[in-house]
């Protein structure tokens, strides 16, 4: 007879909130994939794509439910990733409209895309390991 698989210790967090956080990371990952596979940049797909916008909306909507838990760090991580990406897209936009800034802007947008993908992967791996993201 098979032994039952032990459930992960969620450290007092409702399983539905952990599932929601997985869904939010999944939405962010979809936005990154859209950026990689389309004419949009990764950063542009992340900030302006519907999956990521829904994810950030859910972050703000459920943020109070995770206050004081290890999931709070994931929600902060996801929100900060979104807003820092938006900020750097503004800088990119300012650079791209100048002749001198175009090469810098193209390098910056590539690095920003890698940074966004890294943040989504690193956060999701930490969530899968049932630990806060630091």
Instruction: List, for the chain, all residue ranges whose pLDDT scores fall below the cut of 50.
Output: none
Model pLDDT for residues 49-76, shown as the tens digit of each residue: 889 999 999 999 999 999 999 999 999 9
pLDDT at 11 (0 to 100): 74
The length of the chain, given as a count of residues? 134
b/e map 69-99, b = 16+ CB within 10 Å: bbbbbbbebbeebbeebeebbeebeebeeee
Contact predicate 17/61, CB 8 Å: no
């Amino acid at each position: 007879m098979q032994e039952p698989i032990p459930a992960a210790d969620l450290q007092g967090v409702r399983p539905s909130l952990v599932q929601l956080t997985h869904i939010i990371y999944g939405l962010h990952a979809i936005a990154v994939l859209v950026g990689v596979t389309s004419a949009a940049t990764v950063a542009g797909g992340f900030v302006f794509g519907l999956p990521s916008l829904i994810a950030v909306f859910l972050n703000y909507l459920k943020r109070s439910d995770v206050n004081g838990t290890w999931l709070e760090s994931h929600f902060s991580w996801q929100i900060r990733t979104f807003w820092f990406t938006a900020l750097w897209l503004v800088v990119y936009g300012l650079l791209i409209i100048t002749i001198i800034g175009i090469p810098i802007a193209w390098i910056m947008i590539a690095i920003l895309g890698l940074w966004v993908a890294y943040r989504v992967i690193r956060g999701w791996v930490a969530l899968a390991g049932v630990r806060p993201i630091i």
